[in-house]
Chain A
Amino acid sequence: QVQLVQSGAEVKKPGASVKVSCKTSGYNFTGYYLHWVRQAPGQGLEWMGWINPNSGATNYAQKFQGRVTMTRDTSMSTAYMELSLRSDDTAIYYCARPGTVTTEYWGQGTLVTVSS
């Protein structure tokens, strides 16, 4: 079965970077885009961008351009999201895989806490 397993919680200071991993299994890793979505405390879901694991091409939401980098390691079927942090980036970060168009699989989430 399809599984997306994310790395553990992180605590960082403003100005630092965080790199979250999403290890996939149960399907052809290069056959589907991977999205990153975040959720600030008490808020809704916010799309950050996607990576095409086959080509490495990316598309970032305008809000995060210049601060986020999405990469992948096809040998490990793993995607990564690196974010340069501000104080308001405290959130749970999810990786998500679409079916044909919309999301069908979610990772368990990674809590990133930004605190000085």
Chain B
Amino acid sequence: QPVLTQSSSASASLGSSVKLTCTLSSGHSSYIVAWHQQQPGRAPRYLMKLEGSGSYNKGSGVPDRFSGSSSGADRYLTISNLQSEDEADYYCETWDNNTQVFGGGTKLTVL
């Protein structure tokens, strides 16, 4: 079963860009990953599905500021022109052998 590793925290300034990383465990580097955003006190929100090729498909209404990319076992979520509402927890997710797996989440602080 894959393990998804995320940094526990990240920070960046208002108006800048930030790149969050989700790393797939050995043997699972080709897996599709989804990114979800969870603002404080709210349910998670689906952002995008990201393939190993770097191709991604965003959910309805997700701003253009959000993009995805991949390199080997790493799946990235890049947020450009950071806004205050982007301060949230970000989780990656994958699926294997009838089991859903989540990363531990990254808490993003917008300075």
Task: List residues of chain A with CB under 8 Å of any chain B CB.
Answer: 35, 37, 44-47, 50, 59, 61, 94, 96, 98-109
B63 sits at the interface (CB 8 A): no
Contact A102 B32 (CB under 8 A): yes
The 8 Å CB contact of B46, one of A50, A59, A105, A107, is: A105
Establish whether residues B32 and A47, one from each chain, have CB atoms under 8 Å apart when the complex forms: no
- List residues 35-70 of chain B with CB under 8 A from any CB of chain A: 36, 43-46, 49, 59
Q: Are A99 and B91 in contact, with the CB atoms below 8 A? A: no
Q: Which of B10-18, B76-84, B94-102 contacts A (4 or more CB under 8 A)?
A: B94-102
How many residues on chain B are close to A (CB under 8 Å)? 23
B33 at interface by CB-CB < 8 Å: yes
Q: Once bound together, how far apart are the Cα atoms of A50 and B44, in whole Å?
A: 18
Contact residues of A: prevailing secondary structure: strand
Task: Closest A residue to B46 by CB, please name it.
Answer: A104
Question: Nearest CB to that of B91 among chain A residues?
Answer: A45
Contact A94-B43, Cβ < 8 Å, known A44-B105, A102-B34: yes
Q: Which residue of B lies closest to A97 (CB)?
A: B46
Tell me whether A46 and B59 are in contact (CB under 8 A).
no
Q: Tell me the bound Cα distance from A24 to B90 in angstroms.
A: 25
Verify if B93 is at the interface (C-beta below 8 Å from A). yes
In the assembled complex, the CB of A40 is this many whole angstroms from the nearest CB of chain B, namely 13
Residues of A within 8 A of B49 (CB): 99-102, 104
Residue from A50, A59, A102, A109 having most chain B Cβ neighbours under 10 A: A102
Q: Which residues of B contact A46 (CB under 8 A)?
A: 102
Please report the C-alpha to C-alpha distance between residue A61 and residue B97 in the assembled complex, in whole angstroms. Answer: 12
- Distance between Cα atoms of A96 and B33 in the complex (Å): 16
Is B94 within 8 A of A45, CB to CB? no
CB atoms of B46 and A47 under 8 A apart? no
